[in-house]
Structure 1
């Protein structure tokens, strides 16, 4: 699904950062809020719906799997729909899913609502990344994607703590009501600010599948999944890790997560600029940094001050890699950039689900304080694969 020209036949004016990208940022904020806020209100959901905490935790796992499986399928099925129309259809579906969550009478209905919402996630980011990158000059692509992705990171600073506060004081259903309202705001922004775009002739399904199944792209999707698995092996269980191992008060965890979100936002912006400067070296350097930081966290987790500092640096590095990685994925599938971009989010969310599972396994069979070094190991495997790909590409270029 490629961005072409406006319907009035004039070229899209490629400014450094068009205002229209901010409407994508608002949508990303709403989606980020609905993805992560469940972690803060999970005990409330479990108690109210009379299920165990581990059963309630499946709402996180199934959301991630819904993104992983549903997003590429939805992107293929909707490839003939103009991008602007597709974006606001996705936001309507997003609002519907969160609206059902507000009134869900039981666990099963809430799970269905979460799956509906998950369908919008990957496709929104996939199509949104293509639109954002094509509204700016080529040397600003990663920066434009990072502006859109900033909505996801700002959601960690403002949206998730706010949603958690609302859920703990007004009931978890109120959290989803707030997210639905944010979705309505994003929908209005998309309708007003995203330009009308003319659709190029759709690429055949066979060509899209061929573009998506090329070995190099699949390896990069695996690298992204490993990076996210390392992140969520630790992040899913950050609350018990900080309370039981670090020894911080439970009410302080929210503020530590706000600080993590500040690091995430800083990293996202800096990562976009680094990727526009040197794409692959920045990706490799950031993966290496994440490995080091998580390894160090194994030792700093026992002290509140060093633990908080490490968490900030971890958030910065973990999300700095994402804009450049998204651009790299799209560049490997020029025939189907939207599908490749969506597949990247699918692979990432599959990594989220795997990371949450591995983290639970580590807690059951190793120990809670083993989480950071296991996360570092997963990212390290991704780093080895990425380095091997980079060396191979350099040799090919030298030979050519």
Structure 2
């Protein structure tokens, strides 16, 4: 129930991040601002995550875990409520930054808590159960929030996200046990973890290894319609297929990480690169497009538990800060993916996005294999 409570919080935070894209026209119309200005609300949330990850985590490093989790979730409840009642665009923009500030730190604390409390050899599965909230937020929370906004107004969407976080907070209060903070020495000493080559490589693996699939996800709608040949009305159904693959892949990735962490990550990244390449080669074949969409969802989320677990095991005494920075790195990868896909789209249409994504995934595979070789050399008898 403790892990389930943390998963509920992740669900509410992920819904709050992704639901904004579905209600952008309503927000723009309601506040009388251009659609491009409304789009900056998503950027504001991501900026909050990128900045808040390392900063908030360092500032709260000596706070015991349950009070910290309560404070972070309470901030999310209040920030989303402030978004719901925002009298104008400026206040809404600030409230989205505040909502994003706590996300990376919460992810880090939740993942570190789940991994610490997991039985030996089950860290990957514990991380996967927490990460399931991310899958459900994308697949279920964001569409439901969009539906609410379309029928009851965009403010009702933010009230819904705030209510979901409040329910999750009640579960945290009831089921999550308290744990002392992971930091006992000077907080500045936590920064020493980033001098560890394994931590550097683990964060680089997350950032580089996810660029390709994030680029495809960002431009999945034009890829499905312009390359796959599907009508726009089929996109939501295909997105459900992507989401179903994500849920299954998340569970599979957790089990594989329990067994062989880096070897399974390398294998999954190789499979992901292969599927991306096949999607590029198959072009407008509808059957191939459906299959590749489901497989991409599965593989995109199968790599998440292993990547997070790798950061935790590499960081040793400072896992929370390392995971928070890792989450910020993921957001930077997402921001770069949006820019990259746009440039590819302008230069040669939608189809080459698959090929570029495959090449970036191969680069992530290279980091995984290099990390694996370093670990094997370090453990080899002298």
Normalised to the residue count of structure 2, the TM-score between the two structures is 0.94
Contact 2:61–2:181 (Cα < 8 Å) also in 1? no
- Out of 117, 121, 124, the position equivalent to 2:106 is 124
Give the CA deviation at 1:260: 1.2
Distance 2:272 2:43 in 1: 23
Shift of 1:259: 1.8
Alignment RMSD, CA only?
1.9
Alignment equivalent of 1:267, drawn from 249, 260, 272: 249
User: How much does 1:92 deviate?
Assistant: 0.9
Partner of 2:356: 374
Distance 1:48 1:367 in 2: 34
Quote how far apart the aligned CAs of 1:173 are. Answer: 2.5
Return the alpha-carbon distance in structure 2 between the equivalents of residues 302 and 103 of structure 1: 45
* Equivalence map 1:74-93=2 (5 Å): 74-93=56-75
Distance in 1 (alpha carbons) for counterparts of 2:247 and 2:165: 21
The change in CA–CA distance for 1:39 and 1:374 in structure 2 (over 3 A counts) is farther
The equivalent of 2:237 in structure 1 is 255
Indicate the residue corresponding to 1:134 in structure 2: 116
Greater alpha carbon shift after TM alignment, 252-261 vs 58-67: 58-67
C-alpha distance in structure 1 between counterparts of 2:155 and 2:307, whole Å: 35
Give 2:141's aligned residue: 159
The alpha-carbon deviation at position 200 of structure 1 amounts to 5.9
Mapped contact 1:207–1:335 kept (Cα < 8 A): no
- Hey, what does 1:11 align to over in structure 2? none
1:114 aligns with 2:96: yes
Per-residue CA deviation, residues 201-233 of structure 1 (Å, 9 max, x unaligned), is 623223211112323311221221112222221
1:209 aligns with 2:213: no
**How many residue pairs get matched?**
382
More deviation in 169-178 or 346-355? 169-178
Query: Residue in 2 aligned with 1:331?
Result: 313
Q: Is the 8 A contact 1:223 1:382 kept in 2?
A: yes
- C-alpha distance in structure 2 between counterparts of 1:170 and 1:110, whole Å: 18
1:153 is paired with a residue whose SS is helix
Matched, 1:241 2:231: no
Matches within 5 A, 1:155-304: 155-199=137-181, 202-300=184-282, 302-304=284-286
Q: Name the residue aligned to 1:40.
A: 22
Who is 1:64 aligned against? 46
Q: CA deviation at 1:141?
A: 1.0
Question: What does residue 346 of structure 2 align with?
Answer: 364
Deviation at 1:50, TM superposition (A): 4.3
SS at match of 1:332: helix
List per-residue Cα deviations over 1:341-374 (Å, max 9, x = no partner): 1111111111111111211222223322222222
Per the TM alignment, residue 53 of structure 1 is displaced from its structure 2 partner at its CA by 4.2
Shift of the 113–249 alpha-carbon distance from structure 1 to 2, 3 Å rule, reads farther
The CA deviation at 1:170 is 2.7
| SS of equivalent to 1:248 | coil
Q: Which moved more, 1:169-178 or 1:49-58?
A: 49-58
2:329 to 341, 347, 351: 347
Q: Deviations over 1:284-328 (max 9, x none)?
A: 011111111112222445244322221110010111111111111
Structure 2 counterpart of 1:22:
4
